[in-house]
Amino acid sequence: MDMKRYFSRRNFLGSAAAAGLMGAQAAQAATPTTSLRPVMRGEDFFKRAVRSVEDILGEAKLVGKVSFAVSDAKTGLGLESKDAATARPPASVTKAITALYALDALGPDHRFETRLIATGGVEGGEVQGDLVLVGGSDPTLDTDILGRMAANLKAAGIIGVKGGFKVYEASLPVLARIDPKQPDQVGYNPGVSGLALNYNRVHFEWKRASGQYTVTMEGRTERYRPAVQMASMTIRDRGTPVYAYESRNGKDVWSVARGALGNSGARWLPVRKPGLYAGEVFQTLAGSNGIRLGKPQMIDVVPAGDVLVRHQSDDLRRILRDMLKWSTNLTAEMMGLAATVARGTKPASLKASAEQMNVWARANLGMQSAALVDHSGLGDDSRVTAADMVTALIKVRDEGLRDILKPIAMRDEKRRVINDHPIKVDAKTGTLNFVSTLAGYLTGPDGTEMAFAIFAADEGIRATLSRAEREGPPGGKTWNRRAKRMQQQLIERWGVLYGA
C-alpha cells in the first residue's frame, strides 16, 4: 500500500497505540505535518503516521474549498477546525436539521393519515354525494397502498358513487418543483403537495421493435402497473434537449430525443401535478374493484363527510430514518412543510418554510448563521457553517439523532468496506455537483465520541454550469470521489489524534 496516499487499518492501530502512550495533551501539542513511512519510535512514529490537514486537502486538490470542525461530543471541547465560520452549501446535510425540526414540531410517534371520505351519506352501498381522496402529508404513500385502500372501500360495501370523485392535496403548499434551477427530467426534483404518490415520480419505459417505439407512463409499484393519462411522452427527431417538459391543458407533457433512447430502457420522471396523479391512479384501482369513478377533480377545502377508509403511515421517527438513509428530497420537503404548518403557519413557498426552520434552529440548536432556502438541501442558495453544524450536533447528542443517522462505511484504497475498522461513524451525507458534505458523529477506538462537519464546495465551477449540465456535469464524479476520500482521511486523522 502507498503510505503517502492511504491510511490502512493496520497503520491506524499502530499510530493509535503510539498516541495512547503519549497522552492526550502531547497528542494535541504535536501537530502532524507530514505523511512519510513511519519509523517505529515513540512520538516520532506518531507524528509521521498521521497526515497533516494540508497534505490531505492538497492531495484532494481541495485547498481553499473545505470547511470543517470537530469537537468532543460530550464536553463540547473544540478539537480541530478549518474555516469553520465560512458558510458553504450543506447539500443533503440539511435533512438532519429538517429531521430535528419535524421531530420537535410533530413528535416521534406522529403518523400521517390518508382518507377516503363520503359526502351525503351511503345508501345501498352507493355514496350519495362525492367520494373524496384526502391527502394527509404522507410522503410514503404508493400505488400498493392505494390498491389496498380501493380494496378496503369495496370491502366496506361501496359499489358506486352518485356524485363526483374529488381530490384534496392542499394540506401543504402545492408546488410544481422543489428547485427551478434543476433540469426538468430529474426524478429527485418533483412537485410537492400534501398528497404524494410514489415520491411523485412516474415510470417511463420504452421499447423498440421493427424500428418503432412503444412507450408507457405508469404509476408502477411491485404489485400494480396502472397507466396514467395526466403524464404523456412523445418521441422527437432532434438532438437537444434530450428531454423537454411543459404543462399543457392540465397535464404533464414530455418529449424525448429519439437518438438518446437506444433499443429499450426506463427511468423515473418527476410528477408536477401530484394530486391529479394520485387521483388518476386511484380511479384506475377503484375501477379494478368494480367501483366506477369519474375523473378526479381538485378541491381546496375538505368537505364534511363520513370516513370510509383510512391509511396511517409509519411513525415519524421511522420515516425520518429512511429519509436520512436514502436522502429523499420529497420526504424532507414534506416533513419540513408539515412541521411549519404544525407550528401554526401555512407557508406560501419552501423558502418561507425554511426561514421558519432557520428561526427555530437559531433558537433551539444555536445555529446563529443558519440560512437555508429549503428542507432538502437541493437549493443552491442554502448556507451553513461547519461550526454551527457541530454546535447543533452537540446540542442534540442525547436526543437520539445518531440512532437514525446512516452508518458510514470506512473503506480501503480500493474502495472496499473495512468491516472491522476501529472508527465508527454515523452521519448524513450530502452531494450536489461539485459539493460534497458529511456531518454527524464518530466514535474513536477508545470510545471517545466526536461531533463533526465537513463541507467541501467548488462554487466557482458550480456557477458555470448550465441548467442542462446539472444532471451529470463533466468532472463531477471525479471531484466527488476525491472529496469523499478526503472526508475519510480527515476522520481517520481525528480518530488517531483525539480518540486513541
- The domain spanning residue 455 has which CATH number? 3.40.710
Q: Are residues 47 and 86 in the same domain?
A: yes
Q: Are residues 62 and 146 in the same domain?
A: no
Q: Are residues 79 and 221 in the same domain?
A: no
Residue 233 lies in a domain: yes
Q: Are residues 207 and 293 in the same domain?
A: yes
Judged by DSSP in three states, 29 sits in: helix
Residue 362 lies in a domain: no
Q: Are residues 52 and 122 in the same domain?
A: no
Q: Are residues 60 and 185 in the same domain?
A: no
- Cα 445 from Cα 337, distance rounded (Å): 40
Residue 366 lies in a domain: no
Nearest by Cα to 149 from 355, 254, 289: 289
Q: Give the DSSP H/E element, type plus range, for residue 274.
A: helix 274-288
Q: Are residues 68 and 127 in the same domain?
A: no
Residue 464 lies in a domain: yes
Q: Are residues 297 and 394 in the same domain?
A: no
Residue 375 lies in a domain: no
CATH code of the domain containing 122: 3.50.80.20
pLDDT of residue 9: 47
Instruction: Please give the tally of structural domains in the chain.
Output: 2
Residue 32 lies in a domain: yes
201 and 269 Cβ atoms separated by less than 8 Å: yes
Give every residue of the chain whose pLDDT is below 70, as ranges. 1-49
Q: Are residues 86 and 129 in the same domain?
A: no
pLDDT of residue 13: 45
97 and 105 Cβ atoms separated by less than 8 Å: no
113 contact partners, CB below 8 Å, separation of at least 6? 136, 138, 310, 311, 312, 313
Q: What is the pLDDT of residues 107-137, one digit of tens each?
A: 999 999 999 999 999 999 999 999 999 999 9
Domain end point (choices 312, 333, 366): 312
Residue 415's identity, in one-letter code, is: R
Nearest by Cα to 483 from 495, 494, 475, 474: 475
All cell numbers assigned to 467: 441548467
DSSP string, 54-100: HHHHHHHT-TTSEEEEEEETTT--EEEEESTTSEE--GGGHHHHHHH
Q: Are residues 179 and 293 in the same domain?
A: yes
Domain end point (choices 312, 342, 374): 312
Nearest by Cα to 12 from 493, 413, 349, 337: 493
Question: 241 preceded by cis ω (within 30°)?
Answer: yes
Structural domain that includes position 70? 9-90+383-498
All cell numbers assigned to 488: 475519510
Q: Are residues 70 and 127 in the same domain?
A: no
Length of the chain, in residues? 500
Q: Are residues 487 and 387 in the same domain?
A: yes
Domain end point (choices 286, 312, 338): 312
Residue 223 lies in a domain: yes
Residue 257 lies in a domain: yes
331 and 201 Cβ atoms separated by less than 8 Å: no
215 and 204 Cβ atoms separated by less than 8 Å: yes
Residue 427's identity, in one-letter code, is: A
All cell numbers assigned to 443: 466514535
